[in-house]
Amino acid sequence: MVMKIKKAVIPAAGMGTRFLPATKAMPKEMLPIVDIPTLQLVVEEIVAAGIEDILIITGRGKSAIEDHFDRSIELEKLLEEKGKVEELADIKNISSLANIYYIRQKEPLGLGHAVLCARQFVGNEPFAVLLGDDIVHADLPVIGQLASIYTERGGTVVGCQRVGWENVHKYGVVDTDDPEASVVRVKRLTEKPDRSEASSDLAVLGRYIIDPKIFDIIEKTKPGAGGEIQLTDALNTLASLQQVWAYTFEGRRYDVGDRLGFLEATVEYALRRDDLSEKFRSFLSSLK
């Protein structure tokens, strides 16, 4: 019997070295796309997919994440006194988005180890994993798209898109017999291969529905690339035991852990906003 996805995990313990010096004191997940932290956009995607229980895996120096999703009584009182009704509603909404829990990854031992930290929270049921470096603008929430594939087929589902052969060295790449189909059986995942070694340009992009068998596998997985426990290695073992599907999801994906991707997201999200688009578009057209 296929279970409904009820829980989501967001690994958010990374140091954010690609965004120094901004991330020296601020969690990279709190960098805003216009005026909304990237992590809030990920949480909103989860909630839009009907998942209400979320575990955020943090690390030292990440207390701003917990503060953001907590209530701020003083701020609420100030906004109320100033008659800022819309702003007050927005602030209250943040603290009531979902049931959010936290655990610290005490050492930076890799994404696989971060996922293992969620074992007690998840229990023995399939769960969603979303990486904060990837945000997606889509008509249907991407993690909901993956959940639908899981409901149809079971197993484990990884969210993918084509990234171009020139970019395969940045991602985990899918080896499959039919890379043209929207849903394919994963034979193997290769972490950041050279272009000459990549079997396709179909890359895993930060969205997963994972069978809980992964936890036993991660416990036995030895450190891989970068001396870290790689989720990719554990998924390869899982693929030898059960079906792992790669689904090409619909939506515009941004790598906000990359400076250029962050700028692209900021510009395009601003252009989609009724309160900003007209003046911002005029400003952009004036640039030379």
CATH class given for the domain over 7-286: alpha beta
For residue 126, the surrounding DSSP H or E stretch is none
Q: What is the pTM for the complete model shown?
A: 0.93
List the single range of 31-35, 116-120, 184-188 with lowest mean pLDDT: 184-188
- Segment 128-151 mean pLDDT: 95
DSSP H helices, the chain, are 38-48, 63-69, 73-81, 85-95, 111-116, 119-122, 142-153, 214-220, 231-239, 259-271, 277-286
Q: Which residues of 44-82 are buried (b: 16+ CB within 10 A; e: fewer)?
A: bbbeebebebbbbbbbeebeebeebbeeeeeeeeebeee
37-57 tens-digit pLDDT:
999 999 999 999 999 999 999
Instruction: Give the C-alpha separation, 220 to 233, whole Å.
Output: 11
Instruction: Give the C-alpha separation, 141 to 166, whole Å.
Output: 28
List the structure tokens of 227: 């001396």
- Residue 21 is given by DSSP the state T
96-114 tens-digit pLDDT:
999 999 999 988 888 999 9
Task: Decide: residue 87, CB within 10 A, 0-12 exposed, 13-18 middle, 19+ buried.
Answer: middle
Instruction: Give the C-alpha separation, 124 to 215, whole Å.
Output: 10
Helix, strand, coil abundance in the chain, percent, nearest 5 = 40, 25, 35
Contact yes or no for 8/54 (Cβ under 8 A): yes
Predicted local distance difference test score (pLDDT) of residue 228: 83
pLDDT-based confidence at 2, cuts 50/70/90?
Answer: low
Instruction: Output the CA angle 277-31-36, nearest 5 degrees.
Output: 45
212-227 tens-digit pLDDT:
999 999 999 988 777 8
Instruction: Give the C-alpha separation, 169 to 195, whole Å.
Output: 6
- Segment 21-44 mean pLDDT: 94
234-271 tens-digit pLDDT:
999 999 999 999 999 999 999 998 899 999 999 999 99
